[in-house]
Amino acid sequence: MSYLPCGTYFESYLEEQKWWRTPFIKGKMILMLVLLVALPWLIPKDWVSVVCNVNYYILAALGVQLLIGYCGQITLGHAAFVAVGAYCSAMMVLFLPWPGFMVENGLAYPLSVLCAGFMAGFWSVLFGLPSARVKGFYLIMTTMAAQFITVPLVITQYVSRIGGRGHYFQLPPGTIKIGPVEIGTDSALDLGRLGIWDFDADTKVYYWSLFLVLLCLLAMGNLVRSKVGRAWVAIRDNDIAAETMGVDIIWYKLLAFFVAGFFAGIAGAFYASSIAFVSPEHYGWEFSLIWVGVILIGGVGSIQGLVFGSAFFVIIIEVLQRLLGYLSEGFEQSFPTLGVVLMKFVFFRDTAFGLAIILFLIYEPNGLAYRYWQLKNYFNLWPFSYTGKGH
């Protein structure tokens, strides 16, 4: 209970489920928020973009955690819904004739992010409809169909060709901005002008991603503590028993797909703004597998595990990539063939990720969140922690 005084206990379910149950927890959360705000000045500048990538993986894998970890619905096509959100946001910013006051106040992009979430949510529900009749292996095939129908067919062959731009949409500088435009600019309808918060630096991208992550994690945490979250957990544990107890499993399954798709749309809209263009190559099927692996490493059914798994994957891959780059430069002169092999980082990335999943499933099947829970309990109970030795 994080240093709850002796003789003091919670008297209601509401008190038990509060975010900050004790002053000690509140102090830890305030300290963590301060560290997150100051993070760009505490780490090397070239690592700020890496942290932004961690936040993107948190947003993208959040829906996977909801479906698999809390509702028990296996998905292997989540990258399709991220792609829908990315293209929806980019197309709204580029092609929609926004009213002058919305452009002038920098409201076009934030509104496109919200619309991207709803669009991806509805698209997710469309492919979640079979969950009312099938589950397990058959549901896996349905979600895989969402991936192969959405990205290679709908987006690549039709959506990405709108406007004659080929297979990708590039977002010109100044297109993505939040807040009123700078004073002294010419036309209120000029999308090229910068707003109070434009995405011309990694630090600004980081703060925008941090805002989205905190908002989505807060929404997710409140959902799983509510009636809806308890219904999802009941369906995950035993859907027949849940239906017997009066839970409308079809409604709650479809709601889970909608919320998961909504989070995926937010992730896609953020990623499109962070790299300033969208392309089908960024939403291949391998990313759906990666996000499932992220929650396996972090811990299934845990919001903290989602954060740990995303940070673990992105940081380990970044370190591995830099190490291979350094080794390839060293071997390039003496062993040219070996240097070329080391430069093909994608093979080492996939190998390392697959090996990490295998090792975690064997030696730490509950993920990093369980190890964090054990470590936290050890320090909370120290020096009176139970040793198991009878004394």
pLDDT tens readout for residues 270-324 = 999 888 888 888 898 889 999 999 999 999 989 999 999 999 999 988 888 777 7
User: What percentage of the chain reaches a pLDDT higher than 90?
Assistant: 42
Give Cβ neighbours of residue 163 (< 8 Å, ≥ 6 apart). Answer: 94, 95, 169
End-to-end CA gap in the chain? 23
Query: pLDDT band at residue 175, thresholds of 50, 70 and 90?
Result: confident
Task: Give the residue, 327 or 86, on which the prediction is more confident.
Answer: 86
**Rg, the chain, Cα only:** 23
Number of structural domains the chain divides into: 1
The verdict on residue 339 lying in a domain is no
Q: Using one digit for the tens of pLDDT, what is the confidence trace for 70-102?
A: 999 988 999 999 999 999 998 888 888 888 777
As a whole number of angstroms, the distance between CA 37 and CA 45 comes to 15
The verdict on residue 104 lying in a domain is yes
**Average pLDDT, whole number, for the chain?**
83
pTM of the predicted model, to two decimals?
A: 0.88
Asked if 283 and 265 touch (Cβ cutoff 8 Å), the reply is no
Asked if 265 and 117 touch (Cβ cutoff 8 Å), the reply is yes
Q: Can you give the pLDDT at residue 193?
A: 47
| Strand ranges (E), the chain | 169-170, 177-181, 195-198, 277-278
The verdict on residue 143 lying in a domain is yes
> How many other β-carbons are positioned within 10 Å of the β-carbon of residue 301?
20
Query: pLDDT band at residue 208, thresholds of 50, 70 and 90?
Result: very high
Q: Can you give the pLDDT at residue 343?
A: 56
Question: Of 100, 50, 59, whose CA–CA distance to 79 is shortest?
Answer: 59
Work out the burial of residue 336: count CB atoms within 10 Å of its CB; fewer than 13 is exposed, 13-18 middle, 19 or more buried: exposed
Q: Using one digit for the tens of pLDDT, what is the confidence trace for 124-150?
A: 999 998 887 888 778 888 888 999 999
Q: Using one digit for the tens of pLDDT, what is the confidence trace for 1-53?
A: 556 666 667 777 777 777 777 777 788 889 999 999 999 999 988 899 999 99
As a whole number of angstroms, the distance between CA 211 and CA 326 comes to 34
Asked if 64 and 58 touch (Cβ cutoff 8 Å), the reply is no
The verdict on residue 11 lying in a domain is no
The verdict on residue 60 lying in a domain is yes
The verdict on residue 23 lying in a domain is no
As a whole number of angstroms, the distance between CA 221 and CA 218 comes to 5
- Give the residue numbers spanning the domain of 83: 46-284
Q: Can you give the pLDDT at residue 179?
A: 74
Q: Can you give the pLDDT at residue 192?
A: 43
Question: Of 61, 57, 59, whose CA–CA distance to 75 is shortest?
Answer: 61
Question: Of 30, 58, 103, whose CA–CA distance to 209 is shortest?
Answer: 58
Q: Can you give the pLDDT at residue 194?
A: 47
Whether the pLDDT of residue 264 is over 70: the answer is yes
Asked if 173 and 200 touch (Cβ cutoff 8 Å), the reply is yes
As a whole number of angstroms, the distance between CA 274 and CA 328 comes to 29
The verdict on residue 351 lying in a domain is no
Any idea how long the chain is? 391
Q: Using one digit for the tens of pLDDT, what is the confidence trace for 118-131?
A: 999 999 999 998 88
Q: How far is CA 370 from the centre of its chain?
A: 20
Q: Using one digit for the tens of pLDDT, what is the confidence trace for 330-370?
A: 655 665 555 555 556 556 677 888 888 899 989 888 999 99
| DSSP-assigned letter for residue 299 | -
The verdict on residue 162 lying in a domain is yes
Query: pLDDT band at residue 391, thresholds of 50, 70 and 90?
Result: very low
As a whole number of angstroms, the distance between CA 191 and CA 218 comes to 32
Asked if 48 and 40 touch (Cβ cutoff 8 Å), the reply is yes
